[in-house]
Amino acid sequence: MKSKINNLLKTNLLILLVIFGLSLTSCDSNDDGGDPTPSAEYPDYLVGAAVDGEGYFLTTDNITSGNLTIVGNGYEGWSNISASVDGYLYVINNTEGLTEKFELTENGPVKVDAISNAVLTAGGFFRYIQATDNGDLFLSSNPNGDGYTPYAIIDIETFAATSSGFISFPTVGEKVNLWSNALVENGKIYFGSLYGNSDWTGIEDELYTVVYDYPSLTNAQIITSSASAGMTAGYRTNGTFATETGDIYQYNITSELWYGHDEVADESSVFVKIANGDYDDDYVLDVSSFFSEPISIWNAWYAADGIAYANVIRNADVPEWGDLSQNTGTLVEIDLINQTVTELNLPDASFVNIFTLDCVEDDKFYIPVSVTGGDAHIYEITIGGGANAFSQGAALDGSNVYVNSLLKN
Identify the pLDDT of residue 43: 92
What's phi and psi for 254, nearest 5 deg?
Answer: -115, -10
Identify the pLDDT of residue 229: 98
Identify the pLDDT of residue 301: 98
Distance CA 131, CA 153 (A): 10
Residue 1: is its pLDDT beyond 90? no
**Which H or E element spans position 9?**
helix 2-20
Instruction: Please say whether the beta carbons of 220 and 211 come within 8 A.
Output: yes
Q: What pTM does this model have?
A: 0.89
Torsion of CA 45, 132, 303, 370, to 10 degrees: 50
Instruction: Please say whether the beta carbons of 63 and 364 come within 8 A.
Output: no
CA angle 377, 382, 386 (to 5 degrees): 105
* Least reliable range by pLDDT among 43-47, 105-109, 214-218: 105-109
For the chain, what percent of residues have pLDDT higher than 90?
81
Distance CA 142, CA 193 (A): 9
Residue 20: is its pLDDT beyond 50? no
Identify the pLDDT of residue 235: 92
Residue 268: is its pLDDT beyond 50? yes
User: Strand locations in 337-399, DSSP E?
Assistant: 340-343, 356-358, 360-361, 364-370, 375-382, 390-399
Distance CA 346, CA 85 (A): 30
